[in-house]
């Protein structure tokens, strides 16, 4: 993936302002629960991330949350996936709003899929700050005894080897430290296939999201079905 990701890095840095877009009228809409849709024993999953989670420029049923919910249902898991993606969010912004999102749900979620850090990287935010924000969110989820699946990001090669050495290990190291499951690279198998990407070459289209869900959903399912402690103690 090295050559392909180098090209991806060039594209990311060239159009990094797109990652901060927040004016799409569809992307930030949460999935509303139909009357009687969720009963006792159903799973509640929160997809907490940035524009990659929010459904940037996609129809309401094409984003990560609705497609993941459909995939879980197809595999016999009765779950609602709540869209808590906000375009342009950095880890600092996510850290600020995490408690608000969790406190305003109808109940404690069974799982949070945490996908932030891409905008930090695009803006050249120091990896130690990204690490601190992600760690604070993981600590809060651990305190609440909520299971976590992290979706990782990789540094664009244009940012240099030093940045990559600090940024890229964040996700596996924090996942191991806090007992979270890790999907190493959110756009794995998607980013270099133009048929799966929007014209901005940063965000997946509906088919691209389907490919992401194909890779991500088995990990989400396994984590939901794991009856062990939500997170490991430090």
Is 203 tagged catalytic?
yes
Q: Spot the catalytic one: 28, 51, 82, 89.
A: 51
Is 82 tagged catalytic?
no
User: Using only C-alpha atoms, what is the Rg of the chain?
Assistant: 17
Helix locations, 32-90, DSSP H: 51-54, 64-74
Q: Spot the catalytic one: 42, 110, 193, 200.
A: 200
- List 112's β-bridge partners, or say none: 46, 148
Query: Nearest-CA neighbor of 90 among 124, 141, 60, 61?
Result: 124
Q: How far apart are CA 99 and CA 108, in angstroms?
A: 11
Q: Spot the catalytic one: 28, 50, 87, 203.
A: 203
Sign of CA dihedral 22, 203, 55, 43: negative
Active site residues: 51, 200, 203
């Amino acid at each position: 993936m090295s050559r392909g990701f180098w090209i991806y890095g060039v594209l990311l840095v060239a159009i990094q302002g797109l990652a901060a877009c927040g004016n799409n009228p569809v992307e930030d809409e949460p999935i509303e629960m139909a009357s009687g849709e969720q009963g006792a024993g159903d799973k509640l999953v929160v997809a907490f991330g940035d524009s990659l989670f929010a459904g940037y420029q996609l129809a309401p049923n094409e984003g990560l949350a609705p497609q993941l919910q459909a995939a879980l249902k197809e595999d016999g898991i009765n779950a609602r996936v709540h869209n808590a993606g906000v375009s342009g969010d950095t880890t600092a912004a996510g850290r600020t709003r995490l408690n608000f999102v969790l406190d305003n749900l109808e109940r404690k979620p069974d799982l949070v899929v945490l996908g932030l850090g891409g905008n930090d990287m695009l803006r050249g935010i120091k990896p130690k700050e990204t690490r601190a924000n992600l760690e604070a969110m993981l600590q809060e989820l651990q305190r609440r005894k909520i299971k976590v699946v992290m979706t990782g990001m990789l540094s664009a090669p244009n940012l240099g080897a030093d940045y990559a050495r600090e940024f890229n290990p964040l996700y596996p190291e924090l996942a191991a430290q806090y007992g979270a499951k890790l999907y190493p690279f959110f756009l794995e198998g998607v980013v270099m296939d133009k048929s799966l990407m929007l014209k901005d070459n940063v965000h997946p289209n509906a088919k691209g999201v389907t490919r992401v869900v194909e890779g991500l959903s088995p990990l989400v399912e396994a984590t939901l079905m794991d009856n062990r402690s939500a997170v490991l103690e430090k």
